[in-house]
Structures are given as structure tokens and as C-alpha cells.
Chains A and B, each alone.
Chain A
Amino acid sequence: DAGVIQSPRHEVTEMGQEVTLRCKPISGHNSLFWYRQTMMRGLELLIYFNNNVPIDDSGMPEDRFSAKMPNASFSTLKIQPSEPRDSAVYFCASSLSQGNTEAFFGQGTRLTVV
């Protein structure tokens, strides 16, 4: 298995533009997580899905953020409109279950909003 695949690896966009981050989880994993890494807050959970259903999106910072998981092999995180303070590294991770097991991370998308 190729592991969790994220695209793009880097994204530079202008303030106000829409940004879509993509993730393909490991086949057979039932849970998918979106995390954001910043210097100030470390790795913070934004939202997670179990069997393609969003379970908890309380970590999503604002309504400008949305996430979908239309099927077991694909998820998106969208920011519309983007702002400079959204600049961070966004990680997608998947695991066999929601908790009590290790999660496998993708390589991340480094987002820069100018």
C-alpha cells in the first residue's frame, strides 16, 4: 500500500481564493482525520470521519472551512475564502478505527495564503 496520499504537496494562493486539499486514505481504514500543524498550536484535529460519515467537526476553526468524504477512498478539505492566517501544514491521516490505535499520516499539504 502506498500509504495516505495527499495533494497538492504545496499550495500558494491569494487571500480570498478557494483552496481544496485532497486525501486518499489507506485502503481498508475506516477512520479519516484532518489535522493542521502550526507553530503556536502544534497538531490540532479539525474534523474526523468514520465510515465516510463526519463525526466531529468541532475543531474546524470557522465556517470558511468544510470537509467531505464522498466515498471510502477520497476526502477533501476546502477553505473558502482563504485568509493569510490559514497558512499552515494540513495533514490527513487514516486508521482502522477512531481511537486506541495508531493513525497513519500523509506527507501533508503546506498552504501559504498571501
Chain B
Amino acid sequence: DQQVKQNSPSLSVQEGRISILNCDYTNSMFDYFLWYKKYPAEGPTFLISISSIKDKNEDGRFTVFLNKSAKHLSLHIVPSQPGDSAVYFCAASEGNTPLVFGKGTRLSVIA
């Protein structure tokens, strides 16, 4: 049973526009959430995180939003750039437990 779900396997966005990647989770005890970015033939790299005590965290072009009541988080990339094309993984953890990952969403930014 997948505790972290990324229901969109892929997303295409034009360069300069906003990319919105979504993630849902089922475990209400999750208290830390992260987004990772993965290029082909490389390992996932950490992008941005958010604690459950916040509802928004921003880092440059990247913003993560957390809606605890809906058990939903999203990653906004504005403006999208061709170099953002990658697979994005949502991850979550509960207390002192390892990260649980979604299956990923492949983002293609079209020039």
C-alpha cells in the first residue's frame, strides 16, 4: 500500500510557465516532507523540504505547499526552465523513520 502517491507519471510545461507537481499521502503521522530531483543516470538530489508545522516553504524558483487537512503537498516551479526537466520524487517521514518515496513525476520543460 503506497503511503506517498504521485498520481501524474508525467507533466509537460512550456519554458517560462509555472510547473505544479502534486503529491498525496495517507499517513497522518508524517511530519516532514521533501522533494527530490533526479536526472538520468544520477541519484536523486534533495531540492526542498517542509516541516508539518509550516504550510509553505520557498527557495528561489521553488515553493512547496503543504495542506495537512487534505494530506496533500505540491511543488511549484516558477518560471520553469529546460534544465528543470527531470523526474521529481515526493518523500515523507514520520518522526525518526526513513523517507518513504512516491513513484515520481517526469517533468518536461519545452523551450
Contact = CB atoms under 8 A, between A and B. Distances in A.
A33 B98 contact: yes
Interface residues of B, number: 24
B73 to A, nearest CB: 15
B52 to A, nearest CB: 10
B65 interface: no
B101 A4 contact: no
Contact of A99 (B43, B95, B104): B95
Contacts of B44: 43, 91, 105
B42 interface: yes
Contact of B93 (A41, A56, A99, A105): A99
A97 B31 CA distance: 15
Contacts of B43: 4, 91, 93, 105-108
A99 B49 contact: no
B28 to A, nearest CB: 16
B96 A102 contact: no
Interface string B68-111: 00000000000000000000010001111111111110000000
Contacts of A105: 36, 43-45
5 contacts: A33-B99, A91-B43, A99-B95, A100-B32, A108-B41
B42 A99 contact: no
B34 interface: yes
B99 A103 contact: yes
Contact of B49 (A35, A98, A102): A102
B101 A43 contact: yes
Contacts of A33: 98-99
B24 to A, nearest CB: 14
Interface in B7-38: 31-32, 34, 36
Given A99-B93, A102-B49, A48 B98 contact: yes
What 5 pairs across the A-B complex have the smallest Cβ distances? A42-B103, A105-B43, A43-B101, A102-B46, A99-B93
Interface string A72-110: 000000000000000000010100011111111111100
Contacts of A31: 98
